[in-house]
Amino acid sequence: MVEVLVALAIVSVALAAASRAVANLTENHGQLRDRSLAQLSAENRLAELRLEGAAVRPGTQRSDCPQGQLVLVCLTRVTELPSGLREVSIDVVRKEKPVPPVLSVTQVLGGGEAVGAGR
């Protein structure tokens, strides 16, 4: 009888560990999906800025950039560099939970063309 109780205790611990592992995998998959969709939003915003070319002005702009059912917002900061180039930083955040950003991208634009990329 004691052996059966010990065996049940061991099985219950193993099942709890397996359940926790599956939950972690599911959460990681969701985060990876969100980051991939945020990357698409950031790339779309950078493409818009490249098309604007010389019309890109320093400042901060907030724009909706949803991907599928994921409601995202792109926070774009443009800074004029001494060389005449423009540094563009984009934080992609969830509309309902803006902190922390899902993804941050920084790129240098000049003459309507990207000349360097960051994280």
pLDDT at 2: 86
Q: Is 57 helix (H, G, I), strand (E, B) or coil?
A: coil
> CATH number of the domain that 6 lies in?
3.30.1300.30
Alpha carbons 13 and 37: distance in angstroms, whole number: 37
Total domains present in the chain? 1
73 pLDDT above the threshold of 90: yes
Alpha carbons 58 and 84: distance in angstroms, whole number: 11
pLDDT at 111: 59
Dihedrals φ, ψ of 5, to 5°? -65, -40
Closest CA to 37 of 65, 11, 59: 65
Beta-carbon count within 10 A of 16 CB: 10
Burial 94-109 (b: 16+ CB within 10 A, else e): beeeeeebbbbbbbbb
pTM for this prediction: 0.72
The band of 37, judged by pLDDT with boundaries at 50, 70 and 90, is: very high
97 pLDDT above the threshold of 50: yes
Dihedrals φ, ψ of 100, to 5°? -80, 165
Q: Give tens-digit pLDDT for 2-33.
A: 888 888 999 999 998 888 988 888 888 888 99
118 pLDDT above the threshold of 50: no
In which domain, by residue range, is 76 found? Answer: 2-117
119 pLDDT above the threshold of 50: no
Stretch 64-78: mean pLDDT: 95
52 pLDDT above the threshold of 60: yes
